[in-house]
A = this chain, B = another copy of it.
Amino acid sequence: MQHQNLVNVITDALPGLNKSERKVAEAILSDPESATGSSIASLAKRANVSEPSVNRFCKRFNTAGFPDFKLKLAKSLVSGVRFVNRNVDPNDTVESYTPKIFDSTINDLALIRDSIDHSVVNAVVDQLIQAKRVYFFGLGTSGSVARDAENKFFRFNLPVSFHDDVLMMRMLASTGSAGDVFFVISHTGRTKEIIDIAEIASNNGATVIALTSSSSPLTAVSSIALEVDVPENTDEYMAMTSRIVHLVVLDVLATGFTLRRGPDFLPHLERIKNSLKPTRYQSED
A143 in the interface, Cβ–Cβ < 8 Å? yes
Say yes or no: A248 contacts B101, CB within 8 Å: yes
- With most chain B CB atoms within 10 A of its CB, the pick from A193, A195, A237, A270 is A237
A229 in the interface, Cβ–Cβ < 8 Å? no
- Residues of B close to A112: CB separation below 8 A: 102
Say yes or no: B110 contacts A252, CB within 8 Å: no
Interface residue from B78, B122, B234, B258 paired with A236 (Cβ < 8 Å): B258
A167 in the interface, Cβ–Cβ < 8 Å? no
Distance in Å from the Cβ of A272 to the closest Cβ of chain B? Answer: 11
Say yes or no: A110 contacts B239, CB within 8 Å: no
Distance in Å from the Cβ of A148 to the closest Cβ of chain B? Answer: 4
Distance in Å from the Cβ of A73 to the closest Cβ of chain B? Answer: 10
Distance in Å from the Cβ of A247 to the closest Cβ of chain B? Answer: 6
- Residues of B close to A1: CB separation below 8 A: none
A55 in the interface, Cβ–Cβ < 8 Å? no
A75-B75, A101-B255, A109-B109 known; 18 new pairs, CB 8 Å cut-off, are A36-B71, A37-B71, A71-B74, A78-B79, A80-B110, A88-B255, A94-B256, A97-B256, A102-B109, A102-B248, A105-B251, A143-B147, A190-B282, A192-B281, A236-B258, A236-B269, A239-B248, A244-B247
Bound: A232/B258 CA distance, A:
19
- Residues of B close to A180: CB separation below 8 A: none
Q: Which residue of B lies closest to A213 (CB)?
A: B284
A204 in the interface, Cβ–Cβ < 8 Å? no
Known: A74-B75, A151-B140, A247-B244. A118 touches B95 (CB 8 A): yes
Binary CB contact string for chain A from 69 to 91 against chain B (1 if under 8 A, 0 otherwise): 01100110111100000001010
Say yes or no: B266 contacts A236, CB within 8 Å: yes
- With most chain B CB atoms within 10 A of its CB, the pick from A102, A118, A119, A282 is A102
List residues 58-77 of chain A with CB under 8 A from any CB of chain B: 67-68, 70-71, 74-75, 77
Say yes or no: A110 contacts B106, CB within 8 Å: yes
